């Protein structure tokens, strides 16, 4: 029986006190017997946690008492066992490394589309203005190989820092199209969408909540395979059930 609650959540918000937060959140997570990874940086927070539902919800509720995190909206899934070996809280240079310091999502997001809107656009073959819609997978190649949207653009990047040069090499192919960037939970496609708009692409959106939110709010149509996750579950199916488990590894959500 699936009694372990797994959450993923991020928010771009200035955190000048990231080092102090690291100690506080690590202490709270250990006290609640949670496992997973929390990344903190000057640009925000990114976390994957697992444990009993009451403990996970209690941790999030305590985090929301900080006004900067009041609107956190974690994505949830369930498993039979905890898919992490330990509890890690780290301070990093970026919560998702792009090596493009001019991109500051906390200063303004790119427009987003809901899972329902993307589902409808893909079914009809165009956006509401009649422009052709393409989906752009911003994840690493090994993640894409586990599953992606039908006919998604995949530049075979090995890590997210390769996205900016890949964009510049392929930018002409995206002209005159509506581009929806997507990733696992929204964090990478948020930075990617901002970069694309700064590079001059007009009709660019990010998929709100990423693939996991798409699975949660739609029937998963137009997506083939599973969604790779950085824990022992390996992949999640469109119904958010666990795919093929793998041996325990340290979570690497910042790659």
Q: Which residues contact 197 (CB under 8 A, 6 or more apart)?
A: 110, 204
Cβ neighbours of 41 (radius 10 Å): 20
Element (H, E) at 55: helix 53-64
Q: What is the secondary structure of 4-41 as a DSSP string?
A: EEEEEEEEE---TTHHHHHHHHHHHHHHTT-EEEEEEE
Helix (H) or strand (E) holding 192: helix 187-198
**Residue 185 burial (10 A CB sphere; 0-12, 13-18, 19+):** buried
| Cα separation, 211 vs 141, whole angstroms | 15
Q: Which residues are catalytic, by number?
A: 183
Q: Do residues 210 and 225 lie in contact, with contact meaning Cβ atoms separated by under 8 Å?
A: no
Q: How far apart are CA 148 and CA 219, in angstroms?
A: 15
| Residue 215: half-sphere exposure toward Cβ, Cα within 13 Å | 27
């Amino acid at each position: 029986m699936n009694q372990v609650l797994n959450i993923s959540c991020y928010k771009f918000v200035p955190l000048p006190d990231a080092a102090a937060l690291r100690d506080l959140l690590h202490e709270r997570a250990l006290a609640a017997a949670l496992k997973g990874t929390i990344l903190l940086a000057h640009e925000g927070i990114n976390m994957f946690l697992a444990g009993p539902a009451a403990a996970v919800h209690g941790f999030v509720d305590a985090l929301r008492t900080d006004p900067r995190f009041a609107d956190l909206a974690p994505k949830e899934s369930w498993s039979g066992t905890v898919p992490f070996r330990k509890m890690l809280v780290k301070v990093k240079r970026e919560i998702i490394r792009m090596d493009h310091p001019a991109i500051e999502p906390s200063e303004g997001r790119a427009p987003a589309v809901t899972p329902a809107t993307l589902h409808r656009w893909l079914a009809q073959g165009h956006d509401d203005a009649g422009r052709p819609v393409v989906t752009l997978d911003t994840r690493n190649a090994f993640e894409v190989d586990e599953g992606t949207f039908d006919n998604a653009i995949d530049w075979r990047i090995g890590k997210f820092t390769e996205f900016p040069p890949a964009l510049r090499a392929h930018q002409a192919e995206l002209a005159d199209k509506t581009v929806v960037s997507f990733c696992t939970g929204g964090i990478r496609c948020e930075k990617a969408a901002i970069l694309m708009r700064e590079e001059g692409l007009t009709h660019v959106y990010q998929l709100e909540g990423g693939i996991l939110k798409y699975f949660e709010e739609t029937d998963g149509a137009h997506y083939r395979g599973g969604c790779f996750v950085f824990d022992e579950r390996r992949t999640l199916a469109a119904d958010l059930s666990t795919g093929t488990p793998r041996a325990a590894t340290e979570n690497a959500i910042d790659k």
